[in-house]
Structure 1
Amino acid sequence: MATLAEPAVRFAHTSHPAPTPADVRADVLANPGFGTRFSDHMVVIEYTEAAGWHDAKVQPYGPIALDPAASVLHYAQEIFEGLKAYRHPDGSMALFRPEANAARFNASARRLAMPELPEALFIAAIEELVAADKDWFPTVEGGSLYLRPFMIATEAFLGVRPAKSYKFIVIASPAGNYFKSGAPAVSIWVSDYTRAAPGGTGAAKCGGNYAASLVPTAEAFALGHDQVLFLDAAEHKWIEELGGMNLFFAFADGSLLTPPLTGTILPGVTRDSLITLARDEGLTVREERYSLDQWRADAASGQLVEVFACGTAAVVTPVGQVAGHDGTFTIGSGGPGQITGKLKARLTAIQRGEETDTHGWVHRLG
């Protein structure tokens, strides 16, 4: 179980004056979807250059008042994270590797010239919100409470420099299945667009990266695919990310390959966890560049037997088909594979408290 020092900031609590009625909430929890409904409360913590982090509150979920000149609206100083709370068999709730999200949050803050948030305070804010809205855990199989911590620049000014005031906020959303197609494996479209360039913000979890992905993702959807694949910006040949997820390639010799973290790919917590679990299983995992042409050739020869994407929202998702301007090819049988299934089962079993956590990843709540 993860342990962290007690944060110095104390939280004031204001209960929602008109919480969601129990029957309405029950309907939401029976069919939550993903990211469309939100719990009754949120956490807000203020930052100023003079006072540091202060005025931490658990308060009713609602609109944020911003000056029209707030820096976030003009220069996009904004970062976020995504993690989940899970229900364990004994009825308790737990987070999965929240300290890794806290560390990545601060790495993003440094890249966007924003103040770092103490890791203990990051986790305490999440704990406070889950405690306030624990009744929002969905009743569907495989459901979770998705947590979105984020930070925005709030200082009102139009000069181009880092802001001097910020808000850190955490909201919660009951979550079901991320992909709506229901297919056993997803189909992806190779985009002509690029997500990130060397020296850019590809390794930071900031809104601008996702805004840049919306047009190519919409293109993929319009062509009947579930997600979009981005290649590198320099040569447009090397595999980088699948939308907002990392990719793994499984070969007939039992080895796995995933693109290396060179600064243009987000260092996924799920990615890192799967590397560890795969090595626990005795699999060789290589972090190496892999080209689209090689992917197509290995799929045709049968050397490549499985491909899967991973991330907090979708967890582990098999990739069955790849399409682009040069044609379409299928991986293996076009459906889920044994390695993908085994790694997903192990990961989710640890997250949900159904398997012993030998790596100290589970952070129990309450």
Structure 2
Amino acid sequence: MTLHRKLSIAVLALVMVGGTGFTPGSGPSWQLTETGATARFRGLAPVSAKVAWAAGSAGTVLRTVDGGRTWASVGPPEAAGLQFRDIEASDSRHATALTIGNGPDSRIYATSDGGATWTETFRNADPAAFYDCLTFFDRRHGLALSDPVDGKFRILATRDGGRTWQVRPTGGMPDALPGEFAFAASGTCLVSAGRHAWFATGGNPTARVFSSRDGGWTWSVTAAPVPGGATAGVYSLAFRDPRHGLAVGGDYNTPAAAPDGSAVTRDGGRHWTVSKTVPGEYRSGAAWRGRTTALAVGPTGSDISYDGGVSWRRFDTGSFDAVECTADGSCWASGQDGRIARLRWNH
């Protein structure tokens, strides 16, 4: 999998860049913040209604501690030529961010002082590996996912909050299918809940979801009903607990049409069912807000579900790549041209 193929997501000519697409009246809408940035933010890590981090192109990392009224550019200077695709944060001071690419372009940086200083804690030395996503079970234990190496997806793990990383043995990993890989589109191709973890794939006609119940040591895999293909499959997962999950995706080369582009599970990913009403277009990010409300975003708009992903309706037509919600109920979205927004509810 080449960097050129991965980055082709970022150069789509069909994405919508103007406005927020608000529909007047009741319900949700996105309120854009003034970031002062032009990067494309596919990495998003809100912590609360006040604190959020975003990571994107040209080594850009932003942080806000006032709900998005102001943003500080806090990225590591040595990463200026790299592409951040995921960031995970536990508070306003601690964050871990992943850059993507073949070989040494896949790196992990960590900060414990709000981005004032960063430490490069991992640099990929295997030219066949390409890391896509991060997830943390808690403040100390986390995983990173690479596309297949020698026919198996590779797992990188930390036990000390991202300060050091070790490549896991692949004995507990099922074989990858021909052409199968994960999408570094929104930092949510690899997610976790409790000690459970999941990652999603595409690239093959059969898109799949891998799941682990032991912190990422051993994995099982099941086919997803979202159609796969060379540039199609499941782009994003979201789990609100170890049993209830969402999968969204499509084909980024045809973003305006995504039949069967979302699915739900109620048994931890063993079985997936296509949503009764799907977004109908390619979606690269999904998130839960509470027990039954969920959000999905993509380059052609945003959708909301009030029944756990069974049915969706459009509420915005602006372009976003990633969406995340926090324990206090605040939801954030990020995307191209420096776009970062907070969800507001109109009454």
TM interval, shorter chain, is under 0.3
The structure with more strand, counted as a fraction of residues: 2
Please, what TM-score do these two structures have when normalized by structure 1? 0.25
Q: Which structure would you say has the larger RCO, counting Cα contacts within 8 Å and 6 or more residues apart?
A: 1
Compute the TM-score of the two structures, normalised by the length of structure 2: 0.26
